[in-house]
Amino acid sequence: MTTDPSPPPDADAALPVPAAALPSLAALLAALLRRDGDGLTLQDATSGTYLYADAIVAQWWGHDGDTLIGRGGAELFEPGVVTALRAAEQAALVQAAAIVSEHRFDVHGARREFSVLRQRLDGGSDGPPLLAAVWRDLTPLRRREAQRTAALEQLEQQQRANEQLRREMQDHGRPA
């Protein structure tokens, strides 16, 4: 007998969660995000105002956590950044599933890069729709990649110089 390892067609369907479990699930999500070094924001989907931003996101953006709450992107970022973020937010709001986008912007003169997973959430009968976003800082990864690329280029340049020297020595009748 063989078993099909693929998930059932409705594997991504939302499971009914008892309201009493929601605080525990929120705590679990927060612990997972902390463990992985990711951050979370929650916005009013209509206005773009931040309703929640954890401390790591505030730090990445060069703010204190409390200064983000109740403010929109236009109050926090340069106009070009606001445009890119709002476009990604609007794209997420019309999707049924979560979507990922990448953003690059300067914070206090330093370039930062982020991968952001966004998902529209139903605000319930008493509130506007919400937009949840999980932010992952790609800056350290990109720096390591740039360092590896620079080291590889340096090695290749050294190899070319060694090859040139070897050819010159052979041209002058000296063993390489």
Q: Are residues 35 and 81 in the same domain?
A: yes
The amino acid at 170:
Q
Residue 6 has pLDDT above 90, yes or no: no
pLDDT in tens, 106-153: 988 889 999 999 999 987 777 889 999 999 999 877 787 777 877 778
In a domain, 125, yes or no: yes
In a domain, 39, yes or no: yes
In a domain, 44, yes or no: yes
Rounded CA-CA distance 89/45 in Å is 8
The CATH number given to whatever domain includes residue 92 is 3.30.450.20
Rounded CA-CA distance 165/172 in Å is 11
Instruction: Select from 73, 54, 76, 74 the least CA-distant residue to 65.
Output: 54
Contacts with 137 (C-beta within 8 Å, 6 or more apart), sequence order: 37, 39, 60, 112, 113, 114
Dihedral pair phi/psi, residue 112, rounded to 5°: -120, 145
Q: What is the pLDDT of residue 20?
A: 84
Find out whether 73 and 48 touch, Cβ atoms under 8 Å. Answer: yes
Rounded CA-CA distance 38/16 in Å is 26
Domain with 125 in it: 24-137
Q: Are residues 106 and 92 in the same domain?
A: yes
In a domain, 2, yes or no: no
What's the whole-number mean pLDDT along residues 55-84? 89
| Number of domains comprising the chain | 2
Q: Are residues 97 and 33 in the same domain?
A: yes
Q: Are residues 105 and 165 in the same domain?
A: no
Q: Are residues 60 and 109 in the same domain?
A: yes
In a domain, 6, yes or no: no
Q: Are residues 59 and 110 in the same domain?
A: yes
Q: What is the pLDDT of residue 15?
A: 65
Q: Record the tokens describing residue 162, joined without a space.
A: 């060694």
Question: pLDDT over 70 for what percent of the chain?
Answer: 89
In a domain, 4, yes or no: no
Q: Are residues 130 and 155 in the same domain?
A: no
Q: Are residues 91 and 148 in the same domain?
A: no
